[in-house]
Amino acid sequence: MLWYKGWLETRIRVAFLFGFICLIVGMQNWARQGASGAPNKAAVLSSIYTLIPMQMLITAAVLGAAGIATQASFAASKGLHGSTLYTLSLPVKRTRLVLTRAAIGWVEMAAALTVFVCVIWYRSSALRMMLISAAWGHFALTVLVCGSTFYFIAVLLGSILDDQWRTWGTMMLAGLMVWASVHHWLPAAVDIIAAVTRSSPLVGNAMPWGPMAFSVALSAVLFAATLVISERREY
């Protein structure tokens, strides 16, 4: 029942994200050609390094589960709605509830990002001419792992903030990380933004294991903090 209830509360967001994916992919010219007729690799990769991290951040911010304090998709300005009291009345522990909601959102995020990168791959003949499918698969895995950090940032913020502030807070923190990465203020081992852009498997043909491991560890810490806050918070 918890899985079904979580799906009912997130399905509009999932539909919005898939509609946004169709819009973005449809507007892009992924088959850019150079003067010689060969793919313009610099232009294509520049588009990839802009759109896929952007989609990763938006997906994580939108689908980050709000824990117990659930929010109607089109009632962000109304505070906690009636579903919160109903949720608290269910005969389940808060830990299980938050685990279930976080799992639902993460699965939805993984599905949205997988569809996005697959559509880009199959729609772009230029990409298929420049890259092998294994390299693109490694890049997709990197995006998913690094995107999990921003998802669990949203989950943590959702345990202490209203829904609209959770989304904006996640995007602002992501913006700070992008700014720090662009200015090379982050060590290479923890720069998860660089892992999906200039240091991605598409560039060096090697997995950025350091940033990926850091992303997993940070995600675990963020989620542990979410569980503690959810257990102690008064509603």
Read off the pLDDT of each residue in 21-35 and give the average, rounded to a whole number.
Answer: 63
Torsions phi, psi of 179, nearest 5?
-60, -45
Round to whole Å and give the CA distance between 72 and 110. Answer: 22
Looking at this protein, which amino acid is placed at residue 157?
Answer: L
Range of the domain at 175: 2-232
pTM for this entry: 0.85
Please count the other Cβ atoms lying within 10 Å of the Cβ belonging to residue 68: 20
pLDDT value at residue 76: 46
Q: How far apart are CA 82 and CA 96, in angstroms?
A: 20
The string of pLDDT tens digits covering residues 131-166 is 888 888 999 999 999 999 999 999 998 888 777 778
Percent of the chain predicted with pLDDT > 90:
26
Inform me whether the pLDDT recorded for 104 exceeds 70. yes
Total domain count, the chain: 1
